[in-house]
Amino acid sequence: MNKLDALRFFVTAAETSNFREAAVRLAISPSVVTRTIAELENQIGEPLFKRNTRSIVLTSFGELFLPRARRLLEDSEALFQTGKDDNDMKGIVRITLFRFPGHEQVLYELLTALRPYPELIVDWRLDMMKLDTVQHRIDLGIRIEREPNPNFIVRPVTLVKHALLASPGLINRLGAPKDFEDLRQRYPFSGLLNPETGKVFEYMLDGVNTFTPRHLEFFTTDSQAEIQAALAGKAVIQSSNLACREYLEKGSLVNVLPELKLETWQLYLYRPYQALLPKRIRAVFQILENILLNHFS
């Protein structure tokens, strides 16, 4: 017995005072109405109707049970309509991203665009590691990777070129490196720590080859702190034109070996595949895509 259907049959029968008329209104067989209400009475242990050959009348228990059944049906209808009403731009949208230059402005523009929807809650997760979409219930994300995850819906935003960067002061003090091996042997480097393992991320030459600097003289879990170490002349860092654009334009940082072509990665917006996607997530995804494309244009 479907209990919600049984309650619906009971309420309809109570309103019509006739099982046959109730069956017509419900577009089902009268025998189904009769059998279902008998099962409902057996389930709750009380008769709901007094019956004769022409009509049915609610028992005293049935009269008390009727308003409770109506309320439960109304509540169930409201529950299933929650995500389908005209104002479904409400609820939480969880977004994970790394700390990139201008992320504060991107957030400001997103929240400004969402002002017409005061019941929409943004959960903005700044995290160096990509959060698990299931465990952390992530709806959208902004990341840089060699290749986007094929299991996501992806919107490419911009290409990110990596390079080995240092301050002009450090190069003047140690002398320009003759080649890559000279740089690796003589220059101090920064070590970016993986917060999950506590180990230093590998330095990448290309998509396959890595290298280990001889001197690691600064450690951090924050890529922005690495940039400050490079600006202060403390270390060479592996960073990108995206993260260091301002300092490269000013000359505060320079590409140590410009002939050395490191990897180009992709910055992208993504969301997991979902068979049923709430309107609020689809809307925020589109708004955020437009903001990011404009920001990096």
* Residues 218, 191 contacting (CB under 8 angstroms): yes
Instruction: Give the residue among 62, 114, 126, 56 at the shortest CA–CA distance from 89.
Output: 114
Q: What is the pLDDT of residue 215?
A: 94
Grade residue 89 by pLDDT with cuts at 50, 70 and 90.
confident
| Mean per-residue pLDDT, 62-82 | 84
Percent of the chain with pLDDT over 90: 60
Grade residue 51 by pLDDT with cuts at 50, 70 and 90.
confident
Task: Report the chain's mean pLDDT, rounded to a whole number.
Answer: 89
Q: pLDDT for 181-212, tens place per residue?
A: 999 999 999 999 988 888 998 898 876 788 88
Instruction: Give the residue among 159, 136, 144 at the shortest CA–CA distance from 98.
Output: 144
Structure tokens at 58: 């609610």
3-state secondary structure of 194: coil
Structure tokens at 69: 């059944």
Q: pLDDT for 161-183, tens place per residue?
A: 999 999 999 999 999 999 999 99
Stronger pLDDT, 115 or 101, i.e. the higher one? 115
Q: DSSP letters of 17-65? A: T-HHHHHHHHTS-HHHHHHHHHHHHHHHTS--EEE-SS-EEE-HHHHHH
Grade residue 131 by pLDDT with cuts at 50, 70 and 90.
low
Q: Whole-prediction pTM value?
A: 0.65
3-state secondary structure of 130: coil
